[in-house]
Amino acid sequence: MKITTSYFYFCFWRYPFLFLFAGLVLLGSVYAQERPVPTTATPTPSAAVDPAIETGLKTAVGLFNASNFDGALESLKKLYKEHPTLAPPKIILAQWFAQANLGEAVRASLEQATVETPNDPEAYILLGEILLRQHYPTAAELLFNTATTKLESYSVNNERKKNMQNSLYRNQIALAEQRNRWEEVVKLVEKAIAFSGETAMLDRQKAVALFQLQKDAETFALLQKADRFNQDGKTDDGLPAEAAMSQLYTLREDKENAKKYLAQALQKYPKSREIIVLSIQARLNEDKLEEASQLAEQLLKDNPDWLPAKKLRATIALYLDEFLIAEKLFQELILAVPSDEQAKNGLALAQCEQNDKEKLTRALQYAQENVQSNKQNADYWATLGWVLYKADQLQQSAQALKQAAGTGQVNAATAYYLARLAMKTGKSEESKKLLDAAIRSPSPFAKRRDAVKLLEELKK
């Protein structure tokens, strides 16, 4: 990946934390979507950029893009000596390594920055963020504490200091969330708001903490306040208040309130893709497949070029044994994205059910390709096992399903496939146990209705 000078203006004058590492998942684990990493941000260069800095950056960029990392570093050191308001050389180099996807070099460069410029807070913040994302909160907290102390005495560049403080708050909030310190989350968010102003994200983070503290009414009020940052009803920065409350209640396993708030959200934002997807998922969880299908069909009609809508409709078609519809949609998905392994997996499942030898052969090819490219994926092994079962290759089917179950966490679909195989080989009692386990799983799966019917037959 080539580095551009416009990227560096962003690094030096707007601060690079959100570039280096993805932002927090809005509302912690509440939303099933993550905010994208703004790696393509190219703001207009500040008029205050010194021509000498611009020239120095271009020289260093050229050396870096030529893989002359030592030369780039020396150029940055010279530039930093002349312009100490910039980030230290090793930190800049770490940013470039991150842009070039050289992960090991990123951390090594940051570690060296703490030695070469020990009083600069940035390396400590970034190293702490790395450790936090790797789920080492104790080590991350120690680094954040060190950064806090060093930031208090930092006075070289006020704008950079402000941005580092914002990033430190962001990471400290994430740490408190990870450790379920909800009162601390509230206090940190309030500090961040006082320091840099209120945002929808900060309001939502505080709302989640309040919900965890059983302050439901305050949570909803704050989520509604966050919505006012998006008066047009768009959900780019997070789900609307009603939908967010539904998800929070879902996590609390309060099905009644979750359903109530989701219905309110759908009524208020009938065209919101995110809310429609949540509504479809809720109906799948309740085995209301026909209702889910209607919603998915309308979603695809309103958003014909949105691939997630097509994949969702195709998946529901599998649930309803609409194999021709599923086949057509999964084929279209593969044409759009040939590397889409999930679409290939779905296509294999759709084709193997149609009593067509040619389609069964193609289904086996897709299933084998997926397993070969991702041998750790239990779902792909399960699909291969089921396709082999449909091809009456029972021994090979048993081997594939054994691989799928090898993790020790057998999902409902795999349990159903194993039950059918056990029944085929005369092990009816084992089949009953597997079917019962599949049905008791709270997760929706394509063969749930078949599993219920088969278990009833075996119990007669």
The tens digit of pLDDT for each residue in 200-237 reads 899 999 999 999 999 999 999 999 999 887 664 444 46
- The interaxial angle of helices 158-178 and 200-212, nearest 10 deg, is 30
- Global pTM reads 0.77
In sequence order, the 6+-apart residues with CB closer than 8 A to the CB of 459 are 432
Rounded-to-integer distance, Cα 205 and Cα 22, Å:
16
Read off the pLDDT of residues 132-151 as tens digits, 9 standing for 90 and up: 999 999 999 999 999 999 99
Rounded-to-integer distance, Cα 259 and Cα 279, Å:
9
The answer to whether 313 touches 297, Cβ cutoff 8 Å, is yes
H helices of 179-306, in order, are 182-196, 200-212, 216-227, 241-251, 255-268, 273-285, 289-302
Tokens of 245: 């409350």
pLDDT value of residue 232? 47
Residue with tokens 């008791």: 440
| Residues 37, 39, 341, 288, Cα dihedral to 10° | 30
pLDDT value of residue 51? 86
Rounded-to-integer distance, Cα 64 and Cα 349, Å:
47
59 CB neighbour count, 10 Å cutoff: 16
Determine phi and psi for 233, rounding to 5 degrees: 85, 0
Closest of 312, 303, 234 to residue 279, by C-alpha: 312
For residue 207, give Cα distances in angstroms to 11, 224, 289.
31, 10, 33
Read off the pLDDT of residues 304-327 as tens digits, 9 standing for 90 and up: 999 999 999 999 999 999 999 999
Rounded-to-integer distance, Cα 281 and Cα 292, Å:
8
Specify the long-range contacts of residues 337-345, CB closer than 8 Å, at least 24 apart: 337/307, 341/370, 341/373, 341/374, 341/377, 341/380, 342/311, 343/311, 343/314, 344/369, 344/370, 345/370, 345/379, 345/380, 345/383
pLDDT value of residue 265? 96
Along the 460 residues of the chain, how does pLDDT read in single tens digits? 444 333 333 233 222 222 222 222 223 222 222 322 222 222 223 334 688 888 888 899 899 999 999 999 999 999 999 999 999 999 999 999 998 999 899 999 999 999 999 999 999 999 999 999 999 999 999 999 999 999 999 999 999 999 999 999 999 999 999 999 999 999 999 999 999 999 889 999 999 999 999 999 999 999 999 988 766 444 446 789 999 999 999 999 999 999 999 999 999 999 999 999 999 999 999 999 999 999 999 999 999 999 999 999 999 999 999 999 999 999 999 999 999 999 999 999 999 999 999 999 999 999 999 999 999 999 999 999 999 999 999 999 999 999 999 866 789 999 999 999 999 999 999 999 999 999 999 889 999 999 999 999 998 8
Coil vs helix vs strand at 351: helix
